Structure 1
Amino acid sequence: MKLIQKIASKQTYTVRNAVLRHGKPIESCRFDGDDLETTTHFGLVVAKNIIGIVSIFQHKSDIFVVGNQYQIRGMAVLEDFQQKGFGRELILYCEKYILTKNGNLIWFNARENAVKFYEKLGYTKQGNPFIIDGIGSHYVMYKMLT
C-alpha cells in the first residue's frame, strides 16, 4: 500500500540524508524554516516506510512578482524507489495542496541533474546556474499555478 501523508520535519531527515546530504552529518538535514507553522512536510509511505519526501515553505522569492508563492525544498526519493513515478506523484500532490492554499507560484532550487525531471512536469528554468556550497550546481525553477 502507498500513500502520501503529512509528516513532522524530523521524519524527513533520513531520506534527506540518504539522497540530498549523503555523507554529511544528520544535522545538515535540518532546513531553516522547517518548523514554521507555514511549512508543511509530506512523506510518501510504502509498506509503512517513508521512501520519498517533500517540504513546502510559504516563502517569497524576490525573483518573482507574484504574491502567494510557495517554495519546494528537500524533494527526494530513496534510490531504490527512483524512476518509478514516486517523485512525480509527490510534486503533483504538492501542486494540488498549494492550490488549496491559494498559491499562485511554486519555485525551488533544482539540482542540475534534476532539471529535465521538472521540465517534464511543466517547470521552467529562471536565470543561470549557480552553485550551492557543498552541494553543487542548481537552477531556480518555477511554475505558475493560476
Structure 2
Amino acid sequence: MTITAGEIDAARSTDLRREVLRPHWAPGTPMHGDDLADAVHIGAVDGDTVVGACVLQPAPYPHGDEPGAWQLRGMATAEGRRGEGIGAVVLDAAVEAVRARDGQFLWCKAREVAVAFYERNGFTVGSPRYVEPQTGLPHHDMYRRLA
C-alpha cells in the first residue's frame, strides 16, 4: 500500500465523505466545507483513488479561548479500508496543514466510537458525552494542542 496524503480539491473527497458520514443523503449533495473559502481539504490517496479525507477550517473551540484554533470535520475512511492506518495518515497531514497556517489547536466533534482512535493520535477528550443533533449519534468534543 502506497498512501500519500495532503491538500486536495474539495470535489475529490465529497463523495467519500457523504458515503461514510451521511449515507442517507442523495448523491451529488454537497458536504460541509465544500463551499467555504477558508476550508482546507485533506485527502489520502491510493493511486488515483481518495481513500481517506477530512476538512479543516479556522473555528473557535467551544470550551475555551484557544488561539489559533481549527476544527477538523468530515473525517472519513473508505469502507473496506479501515484498519490500514489511513486515518492516522490523514490526521498527520491535517496537523501539518494547520501548523503551516500558524494554527496551534485542533479540535473535533468525535463520534463516540472513534474516541479511542483520536486518543491514539494525540487528542484529548474535552467534553462530556452528548448526542449530536445532525446525526443523532453520541459524540465527545476532542482536542490536540499543536504548539
Is the TM-score greater than 0.5?
yes
SS of 2:37's equivalent?
A: coil
**Which ranges in structure 1 are unaligned for 5 or more consecutive residues?**
none
Question: Any runs of at least 4 consecutive aligned residues in structure 1 with deviations exceeding 6 A, and if so which?
Answer: none
SS of 1:127's equivalent?
A: coil
Offset at 1:18?
1.8
Offset at 1:78?
0.5
Give the Cα separation in 2 of the matches to 1:30 and 1:90: 18
2:66 corresponds in structure 1 to 66
Offset at 1:140?
0.2
Offset at 1:91?
0.3
**Greater per-residue strand proportion:** 1
Contact residue 16 and residue 29 of structure 1 kept, 8 A: no
Question: What does 1:1-146 correspond to in 2, within 5 Å?
Answer: 1-26=2-27, 29-31=30-32, 33-135=33-135, 136-146=137-147
Counterpart of 2:31 in structure 1: which amino acid?
R
* CA shift digits 1:126-145 (9 cap, x unpaired): 12111123521110000111
Offset at 1:90?
0.6
* CA shift digits 1:108-134 (9 cap, x unpaired): 100000000000111111121111235
Deviates more, 1:130-139 or 1:105-114: 130-139
Offset at 1:28?
5.5
Equivalent residue pairs, number: 145
Give the Cα separation in 2 of the matches to 1:34 and 1:23: 18
**Which ranges in structure 2 are unaligned for 5 or more consecutive residues?**
none
TM-score (norm 2): 0.89
Counterpart of 2:10 in structure 1: which amino acid?
S
Deviates more, 1:53-62 or 1:112-121: 53-62
Offset at 1:27?
5.8
Q: Tell me the percent identity.
A: 26
- Cα 1:44–1:102 shift into 2, 3 Å: same
Give the Cα separation in 2 of the matches to 1:123 and 1:91: 11
**Greater per-residue helix proportion:** 1
Deviates more, 1:80-89 or 1:37-46: 37-46
- Cα 1:105–1:81 shift into 2, 3 Å: same
* CA shift digits 1:23-68 (9 cap, x unpaired): 332465521x433332110111112111111111111123121111
Contact residue 13 and residue 26 of structure 1 kept, 8 A: no
TM-score (norm 1): 0.90
